[in-house]
Chain A
Amino acid sequence: MPIVLDARIPAGPIEQKWDRCRFEMKLVNPANRRKHTVLIIGSGLAGAAAAATLGEQGYHVQCFSYHDTPRRAHSIAAQGGINAAKNYRNDGDSVFRLFYDTVKGGDFRAREANSYRLAQVSVDIIDQCVAQGVPFARDYGGLLETRSFGGVQVERTFYARGQTGQQLLLGAYQALERQIAAGTVTMHPRTEMLDLVVVDGKARGIVTRNLQTGAIQSHVGDVVVLATGGYSNVFYLSTNAKASNCTAIWRAHRRGALFGNPCFTQIHPTCIPQAGEYQSKLTLMSESLRNDGRIWVPKQKGDTRKPNDIPDSERDYYLEHRYPSFGNLVPRDVASRNAKEVSDEGRGVGPGGHGVYLDFRSAIDRLGIDVVRDRYGNLFEIYERITGDDAYRVPMRIYPAPHYTMGGLWVDYHLMSTIPGLFVGGEANFSDQGANRLGASALMQGLSDGYFILPATVPDYLAKAELSHVDTSHRAFRDAEEEIHQRTRALLHIDGERTVDSFHRELGRLMWDNCGMARSDASLRRALAKIPELRDEFHKNVRVLGTEEELNQSLEKAGRVADFLELGELMCTDALHRTESCGGHFRIESQTPDGEAKRDDTKFCYVAAWEWTGPGQAPALHQEPLTFEHVHLAQRSYK
């Protein structure tokens, strides 16, 4: 059956689309809501907010998390803040401006209607979070503080010190715990979704593994919501938490959900570089450091002198001279690419030459050490804790790291995937962010989807869907359980020579070198040749000890890495087909004479949605054309 990608964007002026959509949606009578079971996978911002809200409405919600408690989800690590078009500053902000910034920042690869709705809902999110007791920054009059973020010209970012994600997640977690106590939500901690079950073409349940006992269990629902985050850990080293993985969305993809723009990944320019082979993750340093820090590398290749011994005349402040008007404040993708370029030339600093200096000497001379301490003290402390270096005296070393994935499962305006009854929220969907996400917009999208969009669109589906009675004795559930048992036993049975981590590291290296900050036809073809070889070796030579029926962290990792080994190939396939550069996707062959990303709007103004066609087979490409009526297509320039 051919797949028709109907984004279900409501008719009418962009300002009225969401209101019209809400009015046209069917409702479920309060007395009937408890008869519907909603399965929600993930308890981060999108998942916890959706579970709490649908529970409040009276639905019977089952929420699943592989953590010991829902409060651990990786949304917690977001530092900077959350955007909202409140215009409390009276500085010219509006819903339309936030929408405009989002579409342009996403380099014209986002759906206008979705981005507009995101900007619209942003104002309600702040109200909701404040009512819950989220301790946002306040001024002395008791009003909310905001700051500017990510190069936009208005101050629309609300924040809670450097721990905004933590505070927003705790707000959603507490709302969720309240519903658990009320009996509307049943929480399943330490439970990992390993497959999606589709019956008569509709998502009707999931199969999970209890991580403590190993028990494989089926769960039936009327609708399934995935809110399982992004897949940056395909690179092994990223700013994501160690357990963040693609298994839930990948298994749904294999069951028929199309995957949108898998190659759109965001590389964050200011992370602490890798110190050695044993490195397990990368730590982000707030982008705000670039406001006063100057980025440089030695002019000479292989200069091993200590940074303070290198005189100014022998330093290359490369961003300042290449981009005189934006200097050290160029956007994330530009800063990242330039750091890679100078490192690849052999001028990188630190172990392995993967790093550039971020120097505060002139800021300290200009402002005094106390002002610098006041502005960045906590960040200097984090840096010192990890590296042992005092950044007041020696320059920091930084390097880009994978941070966020704009790609994800394709969803329509209702956030429903190509499988009826399977909804996807937050970073797990292909998102409202286009090819590049602006700072402080991830938290906004997670909460918009969780508190406001899904609780409106999921009931509409439930009201309209004609669902037959299904229980776990249905063959589709039995088959899925059996497949999981077989997969698990196969992994335990291999008893090869290499650990799971060694494969994950190798895949990460491959992806980073060939499908990272800059991609070329040759590099992508290289990766596409090597990934299947690595995958074959994994299934022949991995060593997973222990049994199925116990807490077995190696087994958990093995299942996740097996899925990353398939997703990596799809990312490269997508990156190879998109011969333009846009946002975080930079194809070496497609750049302007000044080395900037060059889009090709005549050929690539669409969402690439990939269909799984079977193991080892080429995926099929479907296109959703994008049209821009309000924000006109233009080339970005930061010179």
Chain B
Amino acid sequence: MTMSIRELVARLRDRIQRERLSEELADELQYHRSLLERDGPAGRALGNATYYREETRAMWSLGLVDDLWHDARYASRVLRRDAGFTVAVILTLALGIGANTAVFSIVNAVLLRPLPYRQPDRLIEVSVAPVAAPTDRNPTSLPDLRDWQRDATMLDGIAGYAFNRFDLRGAEGDDQARAILATGTLYDVLGAVPLLGRLPRADEENTPVVAISYRLWQQRFAGNPGVLGRQLVMSQQPYTIVGVMPPGFHFPGPDIDLWTTLYSIISSPNDNGPNLWLTSRSLRGYRVLARLAPGITAPRAEAGLNAIEHRLAVTFPDDDGGLDVHVLSVREQALSGVARGLWTVFGAAALILLLSCVNVAHLLLERTASRTRELAVRRALGAHRGRVIRQLGAESVLLGLLGGAAGIALAYAAMRVLLRLAPPDIPRLENVAIDLPTLAFAVTVSLIAAALFGVAPAIFGWSGDVQETLRAQGKGASTGAHGQGTRALLTTMEVAFAIVILIAAGLVLRSFKELTSSNIGLDPEGIAVAQLTVAGTRYLSNDMKTQTVDRVLANVRAIPGVTAAGASTSMPPTRIQEIEGFSVVGEPAPEAGHEPTAIYIPATPAFLSALRIPVVTGRDFDARDDAKAPPVVIISRELARRHFTHVDPVGHQLRISGATRTIIGVAGDAIYEGVGAPVTPVVYVPFAQSPFPGVWLAIRTTTAPNAIAGQLRDAFRRVDPDLAVRPPQPLDVLVSESIVRPRFQAWLLSIFGGLALVLASVGIYGVVAYGVTQRRSELGIRIALGAPKRSVVSTVLRAGMMPVLLGLAIGLAVAYTGSRVLAGLLYGVTPTDTLTFAAVPLVLFTTALIAAYVPAHRASRVDPLIAIRGE
């Protein structure tokens, strides 16, 4: 029926004054009847006044809206009446919706929300890689970047940036902070909006200005807005603070607190000329960010940059030969490694929701069956099909929304726990909140869930013959083959969902176990790790750097409890300072772009022994290997395996980083690229022969690593009172922190796996128990006729376990074909790991068997008399 606006307004007005209209109508009808009576038998028999009144009243209602309101009120009465049932449904739903909402809030903040830059989809990361190893992405050199910048017409701007670590000293205390050193145009290319002030300008490349992170602003300056224009001493050089960035600004990662210029590089010239990081084409220290010009696609920009790079290769074959340029969208770059894990967790959460929907569907189905009489009475009184289905629908929606509300509360609590356990290197994690999109998601999920679990009862609530149901006088609903089939189907689905989650959880757990027990090539127990920076004007000379490190180490070794101490520029499990190309003297020179690389680690004597990285052949460094001694090198086993397959490498020579070095030993393989990463070649050179301003100290102590903080401070300060000292960290903590991401995934998926197991067993128990109740009289007759208990148990078990077995088969097939998506997350196990695929079904089968056995056993103890008579 179409309705004009005018009519709608009239209806709305009538609806509001319905009570008055109702009274008037009563008067009107009264008058009508009085006249009918007066006209006597010539009139006609009296009709049903209430009926007329109802029909007329319908004209003052708002149709569907009023009906829905009525349905909702009726539904809430029904749900209140069955409080136990309602609570069970709401709790089940809260688990599913809560898990999804909590995970969605993370997915939304980390993956879905746009990056906080101007037109972030136009930003690309540019890197170079050897032709032979296209995945071996490297930054570029400043001269190369300047050439790209001059010639690249398909870009709207291109800029470079390097990482550095600064000591912050001052009244606010000692600290260290990671910084971005940017070429002039970086911040224009990025197009980020500061919270306060501004970012460094293009004309300030050689000016000591810095923008600080929100975190640093809060921690160090207590959020004081007067911080703009103040001085910040960064590694002994004063900088002017020009801006504060908003929370959640993570360029390019969450660990950066300072965004500054090239000032620190430009202001520290080499012994004889400008800093090599500004002039050398072989020092590839600059990552490159670019903005695509309008209408230019990333592949076209890549082709254009390659044309430039290949021209450079002709002019500078040593530095630019054999390289290709690669571009990657900044979004992909920022989220690489995070996305797959999060989507996996999200997928598991979605399956949990399906599981809880199936459970609720079964609960509803059971209740609909026990309400058959109520529904039949309503039909007999003339309710039409749509009306009854709508009523059941209203109950489902109400349940869904109540479950959703409980789920949001649960998600809120769960999220706080999640955030505490989540790896801190996931970008934008602090943006996670139960915000509007998350709430919208929760409500949508609740309604979808209501639609899913509401379908079955809505269909079965109507089926069956009214007369028959009413005649069945209080016997409750006898379920036909129809209902049985549906229940079996629900069990099958439940088992299939559960097995997929459990397989995923099993694989990730197995992988995590492999990871924690993998060989890291050193003994982290009892090692304290500290940082020492010998930068700034005082330490310009190489001798000064070496001597200072040596004197600090001597003081450290004198601390009671310290049994060994050494220093190097890289530290397991993840700190790598430098990777260099090398060649073996005597081997044919590799083609450009095909040069092998190794992690290049200047280390003091006793560094390897402190970490218990064994020297398997030859000798360790000692005091003889100083700056004036012949250049020497210790190679890792992996390097020996690749280049000295059949000969003893000791005595052979390597060319690396501009020197030819004689191999004096072979060390065991230790991890520098993270636990679980493939083993890569490493070379150690004497620190005295290749000094560097920043080193890590490895201190083996018999006391707790944190207990030496005070003495360590003294050891530093006795050498130079201006050296910054931060508390040492235990190496085993650093190792376990480096696998926090896989641990987080393993942890989350285990929880989901546990939930799946509980939901599935509760569901199976419910289905079997209900089946037993339905068949009580039949079972009673069997027992009365002398059937042994065992046979009753096995009858019930068989009926209960058939759909479980079917679900197992379907779930395993799905998991087997689908587990490939997990491949990127797994370490040391294949996606079709036999153990997981054998153990998980066994666990689920056993759980299901127990869940089915409890009611089956109860069925065998049914008293036949009561069962047969019992109504």
Judge: A and B partners, yes or no.
Answer: no
